[in-house]
Amino acid sequence: MKDKIILDGTRVATDVKEKLKARVDHLKNVGVTPCLATILVGNDPSSATYVRMKGNACEKLGINSKRIHLPEETTTEELLAVINELNQDSEVHGILLQHPVPNHIDERKAFETIDIEKDVDGVTSLGYGQTALGFGMYPSCTPAAIIAIMDYYGIEAQGKHAVVVGRSPILGKPVSALLLNRNATVTTCHSYTENLADHIGSADLVVAAVGKPNFIQGEWLKEGAVVLDAGYNKGNIGDVDYEACLEKASAITPVPGGVGPVTISMLLKHTVEAAEKKVKEISMN
């Protein structure tokens, strides 16, 4: 029996960030410091923690972090005005609007206001469309992280049957598109899917993105399947029953320490790429 591979996201994220260091240094040598602007609306403690983690990760790599914290009562129009100001700011290369925003705000309208050149979190419909067609600059960060983990560990998608459980616009749908672009045969499952266990049982590659703790059971898996758990639930629990799935899987991401750390490193990578793109455009003019 082949050894099982624990897909160590912390290791992958460290590798990504180490490769980015030289690129950040090069940008600074030509007078440009990559800058990510994060917008937090309201006082959700989990959102505040995520924004702080992203800001700290930027600063450790030498990327500027511009943090904007707006009050809970901020209107959609006020939020759009802040985003438009950042769109116009030549020193800002990436914009991240922390999800979720308060219920009274039109979140989709806010996402769509982000300039495609600065959509480093992959939340605009234009960015999603470009990703699906195979030429998107910045895919949503968690789908990008899943692909980065597969690349790091040499996991091929071509010719494999991938089952994605979840169809959210920033995870399930874009990761299905990315896998399809890599010549996998993709089944996207969701809350209306009948006989879900049967679909998962035929999968060579399972992506869990359903937002339910311990939802995917080990007995559903085909022997030797690769399991990528993008779920993160209260108590540091993923979407798969880890111990049970470990018995059947050939490779699996843990939670925590799997997809999560790589997601943040993809945000940093996209921000650096956006800064590089801006420098190239300036040099060509």
**Is 106 among the catalytic positions?**
no
54, 118, 173, 248: which is the annotated catalytic residue? 54
Q: How far apart are CA 184 and CA 212, in angstroms?
A: 25
Are 163 and 140 within 8 A, CB to CB?
A: no
The identity of residue 99, as a single letter, is H
Q: Compute the C-alpha angle 153/143/176, nearest 5°.
A: 100
Task: Find where tokens 């980065």 sit.
Answer: 148
Q: How far apart are CA 58 and CA 271, in angstroms?
A: 9
- Residue 164 token pair: 């994605």
Asked if 255 and 262 count as a contact pair (C-beta separation under 8 A), the reply is: no
Residue 158 bears catalytic tag: no
Q: H-helix or E-strand containing 284?
A: helix 259-284
Q: Residues 143, 209: contact at Cβ < 8 Å?
A: no
Q: How many CB atoms lie within 10 A of CB 261?
A: 22
- The C-alpha atoms of residue 26 and residue 109 are separated, in whole angstroms, by 36
In the set 8, 17, 98, 269, the catalytic residue is 98
Q: Give the span between the Cα atoms of 161 and 240, in whole angstroms.
A: 18
Angstrom distance (rounded) from CA 105 to CA 32: 34
Which residues, in sequence order, are CB contacts of 19 under 8 Å at separation 6+? none
Active site residue 121: yes
Q: Which of 121, 204, 239, 241 is catalytic?
A: 121
Residues belonging to the active site: 54, 98, 121
